[in-house]
Amino acid sequence: MIRFGITRYFFLLPAVIFIVLLLVYPLVYNIDLSVRNVTLQTYMSGTSQFTGLTNYQRLVSGPLFQRILMNTLIFAVGSIAFQFLFGFLLALLFNRDFPFKGLLQGMLMLPWFVPIMVSGNVFRWFFSEGGTINGVLLAMGIISSPIPWITSGLAIYSVTIANIWLGIPFNFILLYTGLKAIPIELFECASIDGAKGWQTVLFIILPILKPVTITTLMLGSIFTIKVFDLVWIITRGGPGGSSHLFSTLSYELALIRFRFGEGSALAIIMVLMVALITFGFHLIRIEEDV
């Protein structure tokens, strides 16, 4: 019994090693970089000096920080709100039986299966001055000259639209699964009592789906804040940093400008944001359980 009690812990070793090597060590190392003056020269020579919170102060006091904070807020709120809204409406639609339902469901999941590299380049062409949107608007006579969707201040809104499209299937599948778990008898009783469609949604579906909604919004928030590849492919944070997010600016500072300390500090700020959001949703879930 004693031997078995000790042996069973060895089965945890792969998971522990994975967590330490790929989660704990990178986080600790990143924190260490964020409190040092690390350039390419000092990084290679190993002579970086400890500077405390200087990197954080320089970032927060800089004019670009306010811009990326606002960009991240626009990107996150816009993406999460519309991804959830469209996902919920589609879940309600597909909760009914109609012809070609299975085929349409499969087509709806396509954005989830397409590689980000492909989606990003498609949207980059889609929003270009000679792309589809401007072509349609010009043909309809709505505009007289191409709109610079990704080469002006509109860039952050363009990448937000692209991210909304990519995130709808994720929201749909979670909410649709939650809808299918609701007993059909509840809908039948509501119909017998004369409840209208919006009343069924408001007083039956939404209260029962609250745990699924919290999970969906929490995961959507985490995935949205850490988005990097889509924005980088479409705009690279431009023009003039007008579409930079925390993730893209951190990458640019660390791996393009070789300002490793500031790049790491920005990454830690992003981690703290995700941790606060997760903690907030956890508190909401605790209150719901109580």
- Domain-by-domain residue ranges, the chain? 33-43+50-289
Q: What is the model's pLDDT at position 160?
A: 95
- Closest listed residue to residue 178, CA positions, set 206, 220, 218, 203: 206
Taking each helix axis from N to C end, the angle separating 155-180 and 210-225, rounded to the nearest 10 degrees, works out to: 150
DSSP letter, residue 159: H
Q: What is the model's pLDDT at position 80?
A: 95
Give the DSSP H/E element, type plus range, for residue 36: strand 36-37
Q: What are phi and psi of 36, to 5 degrees?
A: -130, 155
Do 180 and 209 contact (CB within 8 A), yes or no?
Answer: no
Parts of the chain with a pLDDT under 50? 1
For residue 111, give the amino acid letter.
Answer: P
- Closest listed residue to residue 110, CA positions, set 47, 181, 173: 173
Fold of domain 33-43+50-289:
MetI-like fold (1.10.3720)
Could you tell me the CA-to-CA distances from 61 to 37, 39, 56, 148, 246 in Å, in that order?
17, 20, 8, 30, 15
DSSP letter, residue 48: P
- Closest listed residue to residue 171, CA positions, set 60, 46, 81, 262: 81
Q: What CA–CA distance (Å, rounded) separates 33 from 19?
A: 20
Work out whether the CA dihedral 61, 64, 65, 70 comes out positive or negative: positive
Q: What are phi and psi of 233, to 5 degrees?
A: -65, -40
Q: How many C-beta neighbours within 10 Å does residue 124 have?
A: 19
